[in-house]
Amino acid sequence: MRPPDDIKVYDQVELEFDLRGVGWADLRFQVGEATLAIEWFSNLANTFHDFAFAAIGAASGGGQQNSRFSLEGEPREWRWSIRNSFRRGLGYYCHILVEEFANGGPRMMKTPDGRVVPRQPEPAGQTLFDAYCPSDSFARAVRRAFEPLDAMGADEFEKRWGLTPYPTRTLAALDAALETPRRWNDPKFHSAERVIIGANGSS
């Protein structure tokens, strides 16, 4: 998917996780001028694995790997969509969209007669974050966010997070992807941002 003309693709990407109590965490995320803070998401979703898998997709997907996952806030839900693309002359980049839904939780519901049906109506979502960045910049930001958790150790992480193991193998695969040169490299950056060239060739 090619972004609209004149969309800025920022090379500055930062992600930070903060475990709180048992089974809860916060995160802070920034791409260029766009910032996002999510507080008190729970271990009911496979959040840390999902971020690591999304980063692998960005780092190795050839511009075609897309990721969708949710953070559960009980009852809020934050849905992430990370769409990776490649364009000659621009390299690999991703579009990151985050939407908040006030009534998160199961997509299905049980009727009084015992049937399981889609929950209706789907609550309207609010767009909280919408930005473009180079795919490798996103992947490296995710890997940096795991460094304090690496230092904490898998055992301590699992005590504090509770329901899912530390994504050791997934992070090893991410490291391997980031250490391997791409066949077609991204352009070199001369500043913290660049502008996608429009279809008419203007910038």
pLDDT in tens, 25-80: 999 999 999 999 999 999 999 999 999 999 999 999 877 889 999 999 988 999 99
- Flag whether 37 is in a domain: yes
- Flag whether 93 is in a domain: yes
- Flag whether 116 is in a domain: no
- Flag whether 175 is in a domain: yes
**Whether 139 contacts 177, CB under 8 Å:** yes
pLDDT digits (tens, 9 = 90+) for 67-125: 999 999 988 999 999 999 987 767 889 999 999 998 654 566 667 787 777 666 666 78
Please give the DSSP secondary-structure letter assigned to residue 123.
P
**Of residues 111 and 152, more confidently modeled:** 152
Q: Rg of the chain's alpha carbons, rounded to an integer? A: 18
- Flag whether 138 is in a domain: yes
Region 174-189: mean pLDDT is 81
Torsions phi, psi of 42, nearest 5?
A: -110, 170
Contacts of 11 (CB under 8 A, 6+ apart): 133, 134, 137, 189, 191, 192, 193, 194
- Flag whether 117 is in a domain: no
Mean pLDDT of the chain: 85
- Flag whether 89 is in a domain: yes
- Flag whether 50 is in a domain: yes
With bands split at pLDDT 50, 70 and 90, how would you rate the model's confidence at 197? very low
Name the residue range of residue 88's domain.
Answer: 8-99+126-179
pLDDT higher than threshold 90 for residue 194:
no
Contacts of 148 (CB under 8 A, 6+ apart): 17
Number of domains the chain contains = 1
This prediction has a pTM of 0.83
